[in-house]
Amino acid sequence: MTLWIARHEFSALFKTRLGWFMLAAVQLAMGIGLFFLMRVYKIKLHYAATLAKGPTYEIIVLFFALTLYFVLLLVPALTTWSVTLQRRNGSLLFLLTKPVSMTQLVLGKFLGLLMFLLCMLALMLLTAAGVMPGGNIDLGTVFSAWSGTVLAVLAYCAIALFLSSLTTQPVIALLSATFVLLFFVFIEIFASLKVGWIEQLIQFVSLLGHLDLPTAGLWSSVDLLYFVLVTVFFLYLTVLRFQRFSRSSVVSNAG
């Protein structure tokens, strides 16, 4: 049942203008971003060749970093469409009448959105591959940085899915999910407070802080555990929220 819901969510995105618009917009924006990075790298080679780290870090790794910011703006829109709008127009109630558990429902929606985003990330990887014939590319670092981007997107989806389940107001769901994701990304700004325990807490909570090693071609168990815990925790909260929504729907129908 989980896979059926995932396929339904995935195919539904391609039956609407939203899915195609997002794919086209991201590809256009990232194409422009890649062109800009290549121009900057070319200028740097001309005027300060000794400071250039190579195309792997100066172009591809930065390209994936840009990807995180673009996807961050898209994920709240996707989860708002998948949960908030469907709950508001009553189509989510239709799924609740099926023989499906709340865990299967949440995982199905999560996997469906993730499949769509992975298509987007695969296209971005193909776009970045256009740089590879032009220089000595470290494929290990490229794969590590791309894997870090995928794990970050998993966390994005789980967080935004939970926040979208809290309300039936699309604008509120969209803004709250965007704000919280930006908080997880930019929390390192508060590290300037230079308070020991606060700085350690920020380093643990910061999403981008756990991508420092992957973008350098390295992985640690702490970074991997962070993304797994964040994803599982917010998916669990979403299941609890769906269970509460299901109970309230049963009570209202009985009344």
Return per-residue pLDDT of the chain as tens, 255 residues: 788 888 888 888 888 787 888 888 888 888 888 888 888 877 877 676 666 677 777 788 888 888 888 888 889 988 888 888 877 777 776 666 667 788 888 999 999 999 999 988 888 888 777 776 656 777 788 888 888 888 889 999 999 999 998 888 889 999 999 898 888 877 766 655 555 666 677 777 777 777 777 777 777 888 888 899 999 999 999 999 888 877 766 544 444
Residue 251: the pLDDT is: 45
Q: Quote the CA–CA distance of 171 and 174 in Å, as a whole number.
A: 5
For 113, the enclosing helix (H) or strand (E) is: helix 102-129
Residue 255: the pLDDT is: 47
Residue 48: the pLDDT is: 66
Give, in order, the Cα–Cα distances in Å from 190 to each of 156, 193, 195, 199, 208: 21, 6, 10, 8, 13
Residue 199: the pLDDT is: 66
Q: Quote the CA–CA distance of 81 and 69 in Å, as a whole number.
A: 20
Q: Kindly list the domain boundaries of the chain, sorted by start residue.
A: 2-254
